[in-house]
Copies of this chain bind each other. A is one copy, B any other.
Amino acid sequence: MEHSEVSSYCRIVVDAMGGDYAPQNAVLGAIQAQNENPAIKLYLVGREKEILEVLKSNNIEFDKTCIINADEVISMSESPVKSIVAKKNSSIVIGSLCVKDGQADAFVSAGNTGAVMAASTMLIGKIPGVGRPTIGTFMPSKGEVVTIFDVGASVDSKAQHLLEYAIMGSIFVKEIYGIPDPSVGLLSVGEEDSKGNEVTLAAFKLLKKTKLNFVGNIEGRDIFGGKVNVVVCDGFVGNIVLKFAESFVGLLKSKFKVFADRSLINKLRVLMMKGTFKKVLKEFDYQTYGGVPLLGVKGISIIGHGSSSVLAIKNMVLQAKAMHDKKIINKIEESLKEYANISE
C-alpha cells in the first residue's frame, strides 16, 4: 500500500469481508465504482485468498499490492466493542487504522454496523467538538431531499448532541445534495415550540441560537411530507422510525396478498397492477441509496446494510468519493468551531 499523499486520488479502503454476501458483493461493487471513477484509488481489505478467488472467478485484473490482508473477520452478530478489541487483525480494525494512519481517506464496510461505528469512533477518532458521531440516512419523501440524523449511532442523546447532529447533517445535505441552505426540523410530538420531551425542548433552544435554517419542531407525518431536509432526533427514535419505514412495503405486499387470496377476480386485479406497483415501489428501495455516512469522525466512514447488493456497495464507494471531494470532514470541523460557544 502506498503511504504517500496523492491528492488527485481518493484512497478508499473497502471491507471485502463485510456483509452477508461478502466477499463477492463487496469486491464486485468496489471494482465497479473504481471503473466508473478512475480517481478512486481502491484498496480491498480482508482475507487475501478469498479476495483473489472472487477476482479470478470474475476475470478481474486488480493490482495485488492494493489488497491488504486481514485474517480475522468480525461476524454480524459479534459484540461491537469486544470484537474490535479482540480481533486486531480483522478487516474492520485494519481498514479503520488505514484511515487513522492517513494511508487512506475513507473506509467503506457493509459489515457489523456496531463494530464499524466503534472502530471508526475509537480508532479513527472523533473530530474536536463532537460529543457523539451520528449516522444519517436518506428517506423517501413527497418532495425535497429528506435525511434523518441520528438513526442509531447513539441513544439517550443530550440536547448538545442533537445540535451536533443538526450541524453535521446540514453540511452533509448541503455538500452532497447541493442544497444551499438545508432546512432543519426537530422531530417532536407537536409543531408548537412548547411541545417535546426534556431533551428536545432544550435542543430547540440551542438550535434557535444557530445560523442553521432551523424551522422548529416537526411531527412524524412531516418526515415523508418532505417538510425539512434534515430531520434531527435521538438515535433511539431515529432507529425505530427507520426500521418502521423499511417494513412498510412488506406490510403493503402482505395486504395485497390477503386481498388477492379472497377471490379469483381479486387475484386478477392484483396481477394486473403488479408491474406498476413494482415500478413505483422502486423508490422505496433503500439498497440503491448505498450506505449511511458516520459523521463526526476524523475520516470518511460509510456503513452499509448487511444485505448490501453489488449496486449498494458501488454507491457506498462513490458516496465516500463525493464526501472526499467536498471536504466534508474539514467543513464539519470548521462549523463545530463556529458553534462551539453554544451550550445549555
Mask: chain A, 235-267; 1 = CB below 8 Å from B; 0 = not: 111011111111110111011100100000010
A221 nearest CB across to chain B (Å)? 4
Instruction: Give the nearest-CB partner of A152 in chain B.
Output: B189
Is A306 at the interface (CB under 8 A from chain B)? no
Is A280 at the interface (CB under 8 A from chain B)? yes
B236–A220 contact, CB under 8 A?
A: no
A269 nearest CB across to chain B (Å)? 4
CA–CA, A156 to B188, complex, Å? Answer: 12
Is A270 at the interface (CB under 8 A from chain B)? yes
- Of A91-99, A165-173, A271-279, the one contacting chain B is A271-279
| Residues of chain B within 8 A of A2, CB atoms compared | none
B273–A276 contact, CB under 8 A?
A: yes
Known contacts A236-B197, A244-B223, A244-B241; decide if A280 and B259 are in contact (CB<8 Å): yes
A199 nearest CB across to chain B (Å)? 8
B224–A247 contact, CB under 8 A?
A: yes
| Residues of chain B within 8 A of A272, CB atoms compared | 272-273, 276
A53 nearest CB across to chain B (Å)? 33
A171 nearest CB across to chain B (Å)? 25
28 CB < 8 A contacts A-B: A140-B255, A141-B251, A155-B189, A155-B197, A188-B236, A197-B236, A219-B243, A220-B239, A220-B242, A221-B243, A221-B244, A222-B247, A223-B244, A224-B247, A224-B251, A225-B247, A225-B250, A225-B251, A236-B237, A255-B283, A259-B276, A259-B279, A269-B273, A269-B276, A270-B276, A272-B272, A272-B273, A273-B273
Starting from the known contacts A221-B250, A259-B279, 13 additional A-B residue pairs (CB-CB under 8 Å) come to A140-B255, A152-B189, A155-B197, A187-B240, A188-B240, A196-B236, A200-B236, A219-B243, A220-B239, A220-B243, A224-B247, A241-B241, A244-B244
